[in-house]
Amino acid sequence: MFCGIVGFTGKNYQSAPILLKGLQKLEYRGYDSAGLFVSDQALGTDQLVKENGRVSELEKLVSSKNVTGNAGIAHTRWATHGVPSVNNAHPHVSADGRFYLVHNGVIENYIELKENYLKNVEFHSDTDTEVAVQLIDKFVKDGLTTFEALKKLISLLDNNSAYGFLLMDREEPERMYVAKQKSPLLIGIGSDFNVVTSDAVAMLDQTHDFIELHDGEIAIVDPDNVQLFAANGDAISREAFHLDIDATETDKGAYPFYMLKEIDEQPVVIRQLISRYLPKDGQPQIGEGIVKDMLAADRIYIIAAGTSYHAGLVGARLFERWAGIPTEVHVSSEFAYEQPLLSEKPFFIFLSQSGETADSREVLQNINAQGFKSLTLTNVEKSTLWREATYALPLLAGPEIAVASTKAYVAQVTLQAILAYALADREQLHLNLEQELSKIAIAIQGIIDDKEQLQEVAKNLLVESPNAFFIGRGIDSTVVLEAALKLKEISYVQTEGFAAGELKHGTLALIEEDTPVIAIMTQPRLAGLVRGNLAETQARGSKTYTIVTQKIATEEDDLVLPDVNELLTPLVSVVPAQLLAYYTSLERGLDVDHPRNLAKSVTVQ
């Protein structure tokens, strides 16, 4: 479901090391087994190697088997159909060993296909992918070419199915067949080689030039040629785009985990956004079309999932308070199937780090069909949500590798602030956003420079605790949701974040001796109320920790943050929460970057 794909074909290359390196770069997406198939045109040999567990285990196996060959396909699998095991790992192979297939996504009607077409075939795995490769084999035996067989396979998959297919045929040992539907795949262009990948990050050491494949399309990739075909089989052409990412941005350097590196990068991310979107005397530069269409809207609908949804909650307040446009925020998986009554002139904003979240895409496709305009804010240029929206703007956060999102949240809030500022009557607002954001970048740096104190807090307050609570009011009631998500997803401490006033309406029943309660308080008008709520938990034995801004700090408070514009405080107050989550996970001895059961990009619904 969250699997990774890489493929390589070149004339005078050894593909196995390139494929293994690609798989390592995809490890961050989450997986539980890995495998590759490599064929050697010169020797006329090929090898299939699969292993349960880490890519490093696969690497050991590959070197012990002396795998050689100039073309190959490889995969990291996150189990959906069938347990993690060598048999269920990809590539899957057809009964007579002619076809090898790796697949991202889910074939919803695979049991029906198996029953209709493959009654007498012996299967070696529990996967939907093996059904696909056996079908190709069957169709070729029935007289189709490999290309036609792939086309026929695709035509049989039901509408809910998602696939990124990468196929090799032993009779054409240098050629890769590619197809995709709802699951990202890119073709990377080299001088005397070509690659295929589900994530550009995996192949940046080879090339920065990629052709995107659209849903329903098929490609044939040879060492010196790429052919694209529309779903009906007609040849089409598409220019490659150049991806301007430094390959070293995807290395973690001296950092123990990507998450810490990405937290540390947040001040730089804000500065990048300032220089791109507020370049001239702090006047916003985001494109006339976007401003015009947003100003013409009577309501903004922000659509997102998880951390991006939390960033949207902040954005909604910015659009309402600064730009005076009523704004709603919706979880994409709900909006997709329960569309609320819309205003007359809605404008949609999609927030997505990856640009591939299937739930959000479902909404985008629905609203496109209704003819509404949209803007995607994403970290991945040319991603699906980027391509399919009316407008798109990059978050400029650089590749985010840790599963737990940090810098993308900061980038999403910052860019929404810039947008709201662009729409606002700036004379009335009395705010120099460029200066304010620069101040915020410095404030974040201050927290990062002092991060060891948060390691101590994590040790004393959270590491041994089965549960924890974050509370806040006003704008802080949004950031506590993100704080709770961060802590629970990487430390497995069961955590809730909620509006402090809600405590008395139920959750107070969970407070016991030593239950950690962390309050985020940034606004003077609400601080007294939150302090009252905190006292109620203390009376029941809680251990409390307060994160406050300077202007409301007292001697008793634990962490004091510099004062910044009230609606922008989440940019600062989220950082100690990210660090508390990081250190709790670290102190619990967990794999911070790869929390169990989760993956970076959720491309199925």
List of residues 6+ apart from 63 with CB closer than 8 A: none
CA distances for 572 relative to 311, 448, 451, angstroms: 13, 11, 13
Using CB under 6 A, which of the segments 183-191, 216-224, 301-309, 498-506 binds ligand F6R? Answer: 301-309
Using CB under 6 A, which of the segments 184-192, 265-273, 302-310, 423-431 binds ligand F6R? Answer: 302-310
**Distance between CA atoms of residues 494 and 459, nearest Å:** 16
Considering the rule CB under 6 A, would residue 352 count as an interface residue with ligand F6R? yes
Nearer to ligand F6R, 103 or 407 (CB): 407
Q: What are the residue ranges of helices labelled H in 204-305?
A: 258-264, 266-277, 288-295
Work out which of 489, 523, 575, 577 binds ligand F6R, going by CB under 6 A. 489
Give the strand order in the sheet containing 516-521: 494-499, 467-472, 516-521, 543-549, 559-561
Nearer to ligand F6R, 485 or 567 (CB): 485
Structure tokens at 30: 């989450």
With CA atoms as reference, report the closest residue to 582 among 329, 264, 299: 264
Using CB under 6 A, which of the segments 135-143, 292-300, 303-311, 542-550 binds ligand F6R? Answer: 303-311
Considering the rule CB under 6 A, would residue 578 count as an interface residue with ligand F6R? no
Residue closest to ligand F6R when measured from CB atoms = 306
Q: How far is the CB of 354 from ligand F6R (least distance, A)?
A: 3
Restricting to residues 400-429, which ones interact with ligand F6R according to CB under 6 A? 404-405
With CA atoms as reference, report the closest residue to 324 among 463, 431, 424: 424
List of residues 6+ apart from 288 with CB closer than 8 A: none
Report strand pairing: 299-304 vs 327-331: parallel
Nearer to ligand F6R, 305 or 484 (CB): 305
**Distance between CA atoms of residues 10 and 192, nearest Å:** 6
Q: How far is the CB of 585 from ligand F6R (least distance, A)?
A: 12
The active-site residue, picked from 151, 180, 182, 600, is: 600
Active site residue 600: yes
* Biggest alpha carbon–alpha carbon distance for the chain: 82
Nearer to ligand F6R, 203 or 351 (CB): 351
Q: What does the angle CA 40 – CA 42 – CA 45 come to, to the nearest 5 degrees?
A: 40
Considering the rule CB under 6 A, would residue 306 count as an interface residue with ligand F6R? yes
Buried b (16+ CB within 10 A) or exposed e, 553-580: beeebbbebbbbbbbbbbbbbbbbbbbb
Q: How far is the first Cα of the chain from the last one, in angstroms, to the nearest whole number?
A: 10
- List 163's β-bridge partners, or say none: 105, 182
The active-site residue, picked from 3, 50, 182, 261, is: 3
Nearer to ligand F6R, 95 or 329 (CB): 329
Q: What is the number of other CB atoms lying within 10 angstroms of the CB of residue 502?
A: 15
Restricting to residues 353-382, which ones interact with ligand F6R according to CB under 6 A? 353-354, 357, 360
Considering the rule CB under 6 A, would residue 198 count as an interface residue with ligand F6R? no
Nearer to ligand F6R, 194 or 584 (CB): 584
Structure tokens at 530: 């939150």
Active site residue 3: yes
Considering the rule CB under 6 A, would residue 307 count as an interface residue with ligand F6R? yes
Structure tokens at 484: 């709770």
Q: How far is the CB of 409 from ligand F6R (least distance, A)?
A: 8
Q: How far is the CB of 544 from ligand F6R (least distance, A)?
A: 25
Nearer to ligand F6R, 278 or 485 (CB): 485
Q: How far is the CB of 191 from ligand F6R (least distance, A)?
A: 33
Q: How far is the CB of 308 from ligand F6R (least distance, A)?
A: 4
Size of the site for ligand F6R (CB under 6 A): 15
Instruction: Please give the positions annotated as active site.
Output: 3, 600
Q: Which residues bind ligand F6R (CB under 6 A)?
A: 305-308, 352-354, 357, 360, 404-405, 485, 489, 601-602
